[in-house]
Structure formats: structure tokens, C-alpha cells
Amino acid sequence: MNQPLAAISLILFFMVVWLPLGQHAFLTEHWMKVGAFIAPLVLFFGFKARNHKVTPWTGDIMLMACLFTAAYLLHQVEEHWIDLLGRTFPLHETLNRLLASMFGPEAYGLLTKTGLFLINAGMVWLAGFLAILMSPQRVFPALAMAGLMFVNAIGHTVNAIVAYEYNSGLATSIILFLPLSLLFFRTMLHRKQASVKLILLAIAWGFLGHVLLFGGLYATTLTAAFSIEGLYALLFIWGALPTVVSLQSPTAKS
């Protein structure tokens, strides 16, 4: 497979998804439901394409990249479709209240449902599918997805402890994100396919992605630094960054 060409094709596909061709009304309301139906297909592809010579199974980077992407798609169901308390679109309201508490009442409502779709499809989905595409030869995109999951899980867990209550996304964070990310980090270190420095860089990418999101929303709310559309484009670039970085390094053996 010509991975650079395939990666460019995938990026172009996501750019087409963003174009105003009439699909936004559907995707704005139902993108997380689409993700729920895609998740089993991603898992099927992961196990089907698995290199059976790899032992243990946790060392198969392509399979793990598929597991990460499927886990995130399921996480988004709990966050954005329906959570364990039966609340629909639960995180939309929660995030807008958080923005209002952080930046003032004028920030409430800035994060629209369209914005949630663009953020999740533009950064998270893109990073996940690129991680699958680039594996098993290149490790960093999969590490970046694990880093994003790890940071997200820590955020949900800390929030639950501080507030002493369940938050939308907590269950999948604890059951899926933490075990999968930590297992992958440990396996890559054990097999010497990643260094501690590279893992910390992946976690930093995940952390800075969250900082970029909330910092960008702050900038669009209280300053004229850039538009909300500019933030979406920046997050799109951030989602592609691990793949761009990995293309500059030698291929990994798995």
C-alpha cells in the first residue's frame, strides 16, 4: 500500500465531508450514531487484517489502532448520543455550561452541535483512521490515539472525583480508554517499538489537543484572534499531525 498517498486520500475525503453539500443537517444530529454503526466494521477489519505472526496479540499495531478507533466511536455514543443515565446529547449542554463558567455567560452556546461534529470528525475520527492506515509500519499515529484516549480518560475520571458524580463518557473511559492505552504503552515499551520519550510525546499531543480546543473556544469567544471556522481547521490539522510526523521517521518493524 502506498501509505502517503492513501493518507492524503483520506484527508481529502474528510475535507469533502466538511464541504456544504447538503449532508450537514443529517451529520449534525446523527454523526455519533453513524460512528456506532461503523465501530463493528472497524473491529472486523482489525481482526481480519491482523498479522497472525505477531505475538502477543497486543503487539499488533494495526489491530490496536482499530480497537482505539472503535473504542472512541463507542465513547462518543456515551458522550454525545445517550449516556448511562438516559440523557440524550448529554455533553453538548455540559460543555456549554463549562464554557460559560470558565469564560463568562457570553460563551454559553458557542459550542454548537455542528461544532461538535466538526471537532470529533475533524480531529478524532481523522486521527483514528489515519492511525489504522499507517499501521503497522508506523507506530506514532497509534501511540497518539492512545495518548488522546489516556488524557480524555484522566479528564473524565478527575471530573467525576471532584464533582462526586457520573459524567457522560466516564464508563467507556474507565472500561475501554485506560486499559487499552496503558496496555499499548506497556507493550510497545516491552517490544522496544517505542521509547518513553515517544510515548510522552503522544500523551502531550493528546493533552495539547484538548488545550487547543478549549483555548481556541476562549479565543473565539473573548478575542478576535480567529474565527470558529479557523479553530475547526486548526483541529483538523492537529488530527493529521501524528501522521505527518510519522512520515518523517523510518518505518517501524512489527
- Residue pLDDT, tens place only, 89-98: 777 777 788 7
Which tens digits make up the pLDDT trace of 114-128?
778 878 887 899 999
Residue recorded with cell 450537514: 24
Among 31-45, 86-100, 152-166, which stretch is predicted with the lowest mean pLDDT? 86-100
Is residue 238 a contact partner of residue 148, using CB atoms and an 8 Å limit? no
Instruction: Over range 169-186, report the average pLDDT.
Output: 96
51: pLDDT strictly greater than 60: no
Specify the amino acid at residue 158.
V
pLDDT at 133: 86
pLDDT at 54: 47
Instruction: Tell me the pLDDT band of 253, cut-offs 50, 70 and 90.
Output: very low
Instruction: Tell me the pLDDT band of 55, cut-offs 50, 70 and 90.
Output: very low
Which tens digits make up the pLDDT trace of 216-225?
877 776 666 6
238: pLDDT strictly greater than 70: yes
Q: What percent of the chain has pLDDT over 90?
A: 40
pLDDT at 36: 92
pTM: 0.87
